[in-house]
């Protein structure tokens, strides 16, 4: 008569499987959240067309912005609209040189088209890093308003229209990497399931009733 199957794993095997399962679910949820966050950012972006004058004396250069392996800056300037309001514009990328970055600002009133965003893109910033004049690693709308003394609209324009300024506007897609995050999430969820499968497969035994 065939024996019955018994499942009596040691405590440490249960603990190890539980830890692996919990870690896989947590990391999978984090990757899924990152994918959803990028989808939401992309959905919130909408096209804008503005007319106004760039205020070159209130320019900020965001450092640590590489492009095709070359170091450089994002050029951020406020645009004073024809109605007197100011919008912060991420105008584009400029390569880093030996000294302070120099940028051409079109004089007079210009037409600017782009995508509305909630904030400027952020880069890694070491703890305790201090701004160097007009060069900063990151800046928020509130920080720029305090530095410039301007009242800004609560959003940023990522410029896409061309101007004769020598800046590069090959912007990364906001929803770029969604598929990657979803793939990583699937891998972590699979690891979680694998922890349970291995616990069962390695600790189930056939018990011979005749052997007692």
Q: Are residues 74 and 28 in the same domain?
A: no
The residue range of the domain holding 182 is 4-41+178-211
Residue 1 confidence (pLDDT) above 60: no
Q: Are residues 127 and 104 in the same domain?
A: yes
Q: Are residues 101 and 150 in the same domain?
A: yes
Mean pLDDT on 187-205: 88
Q: Are residues 136 and 58 in the same domain?
A: yes
Counting the structural domains of the chain, the total is 2
Q: Are residues 126 and 147 in the same domain?
A: yes
Model confidence pTM above 0.85: no
Q: What is the pLDDT of residues 10-20, one digit of tens each?
A: 889 889 989 99
**Tokens found for residue 62:** 């965001």
Residue 91 confidence (pLDDT) above 90: yes
DSSP 8-state secondary structure symbol assigned to residue 132: B
Q: Are residues 27 and 89 in the same domain?
A: no
Q: Are residues 37 and 51 in the same domain?
A: no
How would DSSP label each residue in 134-198? TEES---HHHHHHHH---EEEEEEEE-S--TT--B--PPPTTTTHHHHHHHHHHHHHHHHHHHHH
Residue 190 vs residues 31, 33, 193: alpha-carbon distances, Å: 13, 17, 5
Kindly state whether residue 82 falls inside one of the protein's structural domains.
yes
Kindly state whether residue 191 falls inside one of the protein's structural domains.
yes
Kindly state whether residue 31 falls inside one of the protein's structural domains.
yes
Q: Are residues 57 and 148 in the same domain?
A: yes
Q: Are residues 51 and 142 in the same domain?
A: yes
Kindly state whether residue 155 falls inside one of the protein's structural domains.
yes
Residue 179 CA neighbour count, 13 Å, CB half: 2
CA angle 197, 200, 204 (to 5 degrees): 150
Mean pLDDT on 155-179: 86
Q: Are residues 55 and 141 in the same domain?
A: yes
Mean pLDDT on 95-112: 88
**Tokens found for residue 48:** 């804008």
Judge whether 19 and 148 are in contact, CB under 8 Å.
no
Residue 8 vs residues 1, 90, 101, 112, 124: alpha-carbon distances, Å: 22, 62, 68, 70, 49
């Amino acid at each position: 008569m065939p024996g019955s199957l018994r499942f009596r794993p040691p405590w440490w095997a249960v603990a190890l499987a539980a830890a692996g399962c919990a870690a896989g679910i947590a990391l999978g949820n984090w990757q899924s959240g990152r994918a959803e966050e990028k989808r939401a950012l992309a959905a919130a972006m909408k096209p804008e067309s503005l007319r106004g004058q760039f205020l070159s004396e209130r320019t900020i250069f965001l450092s640590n912005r590489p492009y095709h392996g070359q170091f450089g800056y994002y050029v951020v300037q406020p645009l004073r609209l024809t109605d007197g309001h100011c919008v912060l514009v991420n105008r584009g990328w400029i390569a880093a040189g030996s000294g302070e970055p120099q940028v051409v600002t079109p004089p007079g009133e210009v037409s600017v088209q782009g995508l509305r965003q909630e904030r400027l893109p952020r880069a890694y910033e070491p703890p305790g890093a201090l701004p160097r004049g007009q060069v900063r690693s990151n800046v928020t709308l509130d920080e720029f308003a305090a530095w410039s003394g301007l009242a800004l609209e609560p959003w940023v324009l990522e410029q896409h229209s061309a101007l004769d300024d020598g800046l590069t506007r090959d912007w990364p897609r906001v929803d770029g990497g969604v598929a990657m995050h979803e793939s990583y999430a699937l891998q972590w969820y699979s690891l979680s399931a694998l922890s349970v499968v291995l616990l069962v497969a390695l600790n189930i035994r056939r018990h011979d009733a005749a052997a007692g």
